[in-house]
Structure 1
Amino acid sequence: MPPVRGVRSYFTITGKQAQCNSCGKKVSFSGNTTNLWKHLKLHHKILPETRIQCSPSELMQDSSSTSSNSESSTRPSSSTSCSPTPRPSSTLSYNMSSRSASPSFGQSEIISSRTSTPMPIIQPNLDAMFANEKSFKAVGERADSLEDALLYMVCVDNLKLSTPEKPGFLHFAKVAVPLWTPPSRSTLTSRLEVKFAAKSEIVRNILSKIPAICQTLDCWTERHTTSSYLGVTAHFQLEMEINSVMLGIELLTSSHTSEYLTEQILELCGKWGVSPNRVSICVTDSAANIVKAARNVFGDSKHMPCFAHTLNPYALGKTEGTMLRLSQDVITRWGSTYETCEKFLAMEEIISVAATKFPEVKMLSGLELQTLKFLRDIIRPFYLATKEVSEEKNTTLSKVIPIVRMISDKLQNTDLPYIPNTTGEETKNIAGIRSNLKAFLVAEMNRRFGDLEEKKSRAL
């Protein structure tokens, strides 16, 4: 194979002009090879990435055939006798000169891949370039996919709808996708409504094919806005997997009577095509108004009080006068009392040292710390039971009776800590708190769950 020829070998250079040896056309020459390559590319289809390994006569023949079709042809003919080969790179030259004749493992593959015929470089035509730019416009395909991804990010990450208008996001979008203009807040809101309507139709079709649905109802009031809401969630099995769908969170604008809640529940179920006869179980807390509303809609036999709601309000320190209260205790968060006691006892020594630096801080006495440990141990079963039944992907109804039985046995077998001195006032108060707490928990367990095994829905 003849050696690779340089670009100057195709021209006869005289002063500031260079005459092509194949077609005779003269081009300006000022020392660099830009104009020479431009001439070879336009008239002889020779790119800077390739060199021609052929004789001058073959080049003349190829030039005469390509010059006549220069305006209609965009690629070299497959019948041309000149074959392009890649320009050797400095890396390849170094490897061949500094290595032995027999390449090491993998080197022969690298050399063969670099010396093989490269793929032809195809420049996109104007139609393709304009089509790519139009795809990023407001109605383009790429713009739609980017806006869908942006909407997904806003919903999943709980971001504001004004996120696309923030300066930081606009800078990121300009750097990442320069041709794309992020949507405004109003546009994103409109797309969210359209997306919600489409997804709602999908969920409505799925729910229409489910023969048995379990619903959970709950009412609450936001502390910051003092607004009340009704939340309805549907649970069902689809393809051997338990799924949950939030059917709606309705703003309550009237008094929370059972009749008003009944109307709201029926309206929400009708919106999703869930008839009351397809609801097998409805779970609520123990509030009288929501219980009455659930029974009005689904019937007495289908209503079931939430085990976690029934277990927690009295078991985790929400009743006055039954236990010592800490400032970290949050009345609306289940398990906060147990977690407060656990953390306090774990940091008992550190808190004792820190309390000596603040005279106004009164550290717990030895009897109080002992009572706190007793409190932590006696409410621990309730804390673990709450975590056990607070699942969404697994059924927990079958666990209720065994859990209640184990908690009852634990309470019955719990002994009160021994107090050596019972004459002091503090000692009598501590002893009363311990005994009253145990008696209260045992009595409440019997009152709330005494007939649990007689209920068919939980005994099966």
Structure 2
Amino acid sequence: MARSKIWKYYDKIDLQTAQCLLCEKIIKTCGNTSNLMKHMKTHPQIDVNDHDSIVVRGILKREPNPIKSRGRKQLKYASIKIKSEPKREVDNDQVTNDMDVNIIELVDAEATAAVDSVASEETYANWATAAAETESATETVSAEDIIEFEPKEANEQNDQRSVYQMQSEEAQPEMDHLIASNNVYQNSLAYFICHDKQPLNMIKGEGFKRLVQVLCPTFRLPSSEQLAAHIGQRAQIQIAQLRQVFAHVQSLSLSCAINTKSEQQFSYLEVAAHYNEGLYRRSKTISVQMLPLQYNASNIVERLDRICQRFDIDKSKIVCIVSRSNRLMENAVAMLLGSQRHVPCFAHLLEQLFELVVQRHEFSALCDKVRRCQGQQMEKIDVAGRPLSSYEMLERYVKQTAQLQKLLPPDALTGAELDLAAELITVLAPLASAMRQLCGTSISTYPSASNALPIAYTVLNELKQPEIAEQQQHQISYDLRLFVIRLLEERFEVMENNTQLALSSLLDPRFRNMPFQSASLVAKYMTQLYDLYEEKGGVIPVESSQEANTDNYDIWAAYRAFSHEKHKHINMNGESENMDEISSYFCSSISSLQTEPLLLWKDLVQFHPFLHSLAKRYLHIPASALPPARIFTAGGEETIAQHEKFLDEQLSNMVLMADCARDEWQL
């Protein structure tokens, strides 16, 4: 049976459907060609009985199972081309069910465009008019017989767009995670460089690159310039945060130290800020700037002005500046803030005193003999330029010798020399203990200035005890003790006359007016406190406590409020009812030495609000211009050596970020 001539205008999809090659609509066949003939009437330009016309179309690309892909088949572009050829007979035996007898040509995109351009505008206009007339005809294909078909080009674009969107949505979390990871890696690398004070060119080493590649193959190691820029950005964020802090604090103090590089003889001005944050003291190194080869007080003032502008520090909030005692720094502080605003570095005073002791012949001779005897065994303890290390070396030698007894080398100290060394160690023990106490547990810790007078007063009192004098059998140790007492008294007098040091001790509940030798000076400072009290009118509002928050009830806060009221009631009926705020403060018992002074004021503020407001102005002052561990031990030389690794333009940013906590680095 010959195949119907209508099939040259359709492409058979399966047993139930066929696709029109003219409009690309899919028509239900239902096993016959009735619907196909009806649909072709919608194309009046087509004469079904015209055997001279040939349909040129694209190859139909079918999926393995065309039934499953019905309604969503993706086709290549097809076009209709009218040709005029001689009429010829068609052999019915060569006709198959899946392929027409039409001439088939491969039409690519360029051929399709060429065919479209050949078609005349008149032909398209006639087609459009005929289609409009056909829609009104009575004999048409019903809607249920037509399967809606979306053109291939739109299908491809939509499919590509949806695939791209799906891939983007799936890849977005991974990209976000990758970006966040890279930020963490870069911050961690910058944290390592700054915190450990390593040079930037360290990341150029092949070994370091290999280590990073093994630990994180996806991380692209930045250049030293990029890392320096990243550290600079983090420093700007830190500066902005410190500006906000300094804008809210009522007062702060600065510490200044001039460090000199050993080889290049360049000097750097290191500045740290000290302030109260809630109930705790905070210290932060904010700048390290290079000084000229021949610097003076004006150069120092210029750099301090620059630092204040950079961090928006109001000079009226600066209570004082702590530095070593020399005319240069005192003049610089006077030019910047006015006279009487300089506080001597207590740690440096002790260092100078110990250095004078070590330089005495009777002490240095014993140390030199121990060095010759012990050699390399004492190298780690004995540090050149650190007087405290000489004392520790001699102290350790005496203890070891006492344990070895008679098993001593020939060049060891004799029995008389060992006895003398033991007495010298006993004389200097209070002074050495004071220096160790100042060092604390961290190389970056600044002790409070309120500790200076109590420590110096205690050392003096210990050296004057008769028990120590009775233990001394050598004239050398006796003379050394008197020498240390005289030097301490000279320095103690200077410290006692410094208003900032004196008021910081007076307003510390742990010490109050105890560590003073001069009663006249105590009376002078008490008068100043009363004058300030009268200027304020004697009425200072008590600061609101956060413990009043009922959302987080604290039983001890309730007890504290009850005890305060009871204490007030006792005072009103007792002998102290006529005592004012200042008198009652200095008549009260000394507080625990194990508690921070600001924490003690948390309980005392109810009774002494004026003194509490004044204490916050002085209790943040440090006792030293540098952390004492950097003054007394080899930590100072190590820090300077680490600073030498940095370039001048990078030094300030890297030192600023060196002591930032991990949360400030977003790690």
**TM-score of the superposition, structure 1-length normalised?**
0.62
Structure 1 match to 2:244: 205
User: Does the alignment pair 1:450 with 2:504?
Assistant: no
- Give how far 1:401 is off: 2.6
Q: What SS does structure 2 have at the residue aligned with 1:450?
A: helix
- Give how far 1:406 is off: 1.8
Q: What SS does structure 2 have at the residue aligned with 1:255?
A: coil
Structure 2 match to 1:402: 454
Contact 1:398 1:458 in 2 (8 A): yes
* Residues 105-138 of structure 1 deviation map (CA, whole Å, 9 limit, x = unaligned): xxxxxxxxxxxxxxxxxxx95335654675688x
Structure 2, gaps ≥5 residues long: 1-64, 74-164, 372-380, 507-667
Structure 2 match to 1:386: 435
Q: What SS does structure 2 have at the residue aligned with 1:226?
A: coil
Distance 1:455 1:397 in 2: 11
Contact 1:282 1:294 in 2 (8 A): yes
Letter in 2 for 1:253: P
Distance 1:235 1:399 in 2: 16
- Give how far 1:234 is off: 0.5
Q: CA 1:154/1:432 → structure 2, altered by over 3 Å: closer, same or farther?
A: same
Structure 1, gaps ≥5 residues long: 1-63, 73-123, 357-361, 420-430
RCO comparison, higher one (Cα < 8 Å, 6+): 2
Letter in 1 for 2:237: A
Structure 1 match to 2:197: 158
Distance 2:202 2:168 in 1: 34
Distance 1:71 1:342 in 2: 94
Q: CA 1:215/1:176 → structure 2, altered by over 3 Å: closer, same or farther?
A: same
Structure 1 match to 2:469: 415
Select 1:368's aligned residue among 397, 417, 424.
Answer: 417
User: Does the alignment pair 1:224 with 2:263?
Assistant: yes
- Give how far 1:345 is off: 1.4
Q: CA 1:418/1:190 → structure 2, altered by over 3 Å: closer, same or farther?
A: closer
Q: What SS does structure 2 have at the residue aligned with 1:381?
A: helix
Select 1:338's aligned residue among 391, 401, 404.
Answer: 391
**TM-score of the superposition, structure 2-length normalised?**
0.44
Letter in 1 for 2:453: I
Q: For 1:55-66, list aligned pairs within 5 A.
A: none
Select 1:304's aligned residue among 343, 350, 368.
Answer: 343
Letter in 2 for 1:240: L
Q: What SS does structure 2 have at the residue aligned with 1:309?
A: helix
Distance 2:437 2:191 in 1: 32
Distance 2:170 2:294 in 1: 62
Select 1:377's aligned residue among 426, 429, 432.
Answer: 426
% identity of equivalent residues: 19
Distance 1:126 1:368 in 2: 85
Structure 2 match to 1:214: 253
Letter in 2 for 1:435: Y
Q: What SS does structure 1 have at the residue aligned with 2:392?
A: helix
Structure 2 match to 1:355: 409
Structure 2 match to 1:315: 354
User: Does the alignment pair 1:265 with 2:304?
Assistant: yes
User: Does the alignment pair 1:283 with 2:322?
Assistant: yes
Structure 2 match to 1:188: 227
Q: More deviation in 385-394 or 143-152?
A: 385-394
Q: CA 1:70/1:206 → structure 2, altered by over 3 Å: closer, same or farther?
A: farther
- Give how far 1:224 is off: 3.2
Select 2:213's aligned residue among 174, 186, 197.
Answer: 174
Q: More deviation in 400-409 or 241-250?
A: 400-409
Residues matched between the structures, number: 328
Structure 1 match to 2:277: 238
Q: CA 1:70/1:365 → structure 2, altered by over 3 Å: closer, same or farther?
A: farther
Distance 1:408 1:145 in 2: 53
Q: CA 1:293/1:347 → structure 2, altered by over 3 Å: closer, same or farther?
A: same
Distance 1:438 1:364 in 2: 22
Structure 2 match to 1:108: none
Q: What SS does structure 2 have at the residue aligned with 1:415?
A: helix
Distance 2:436 2:480 in 1: 22
Distance 1:273 1:300 in 2: 23
Structure that is richer in strand per residue: 1
Distance 2:70 2:198 in 1: 59
Structure 1 match to 2:476: 433
Which of these two proteins has the greater Rg computed from alpha carbons? Answer: 2
Q: More deviation in 216-225 or 159-168?
A: 159-168
Q: For 1:95-174, list aligned pairs within 5 A.
A: 126-128=167-169, 131=172, 140-174=179-213
Distance 2:447 2:256 in 1: 17
Letter in 2 for 1:335: L
Q: CA 1:189/1:165 → structure 2, altered by over 3 Å: closer, same or farther?
A: same
Q: What SS does structure 2 have at the residue aligned with 1:243?
A: strand
Contact 2:200 2:228 in 1 (8 A): yes
- Give how far 1:240 is off: 2.1
Q: More deviation in 290-299 or 312-321?
A: 312-321
Select 2:288's aligned residue among 249, 254, 266.
Answer: 249
Distance 1:334 1:298 in 2: 34
Distance 1:227 1:393 in 2: 26
Q: What SS does structure 1 have at the residue aligned with 2:426?
A: helix
Distance 2:247 2:394 in 1: 48
Distance 2:283 2:396 in 1: 34
Distance 1:451 1:142 in 2: 56
Letter in 2 for 1:355: P
Structure that is richer in helix per residue: 2
- Runs of at least 4 residues off by over 6 Å: 69-72
Distance 1:294 1:455 in 2: 14
- Give how far 1:352 is off: 7.5
Distance 2:252 2:338 in 1: 15
Contact 2:271 2:287 in 1 (8 A): yes
Contact 1:352 1:363 in 2 (8 A): no
Q: For 1:61-80, list aligned pairs within 5 A.
A: 67=68
Q: CA 1:382/1:447 → structure 2, altered by over 3 Å: closer, same or farther?
A: same
Q: For 1:20-31, list aligned pairs within 5 A.
A: none
Q: What SS does structure 2 have at the residue aligned with 1:178?
A: coil
- Give how far 1:226 is off: 2.2
Q: What SS does structure 1 have at the residue aligned with 2:289?
A: strand
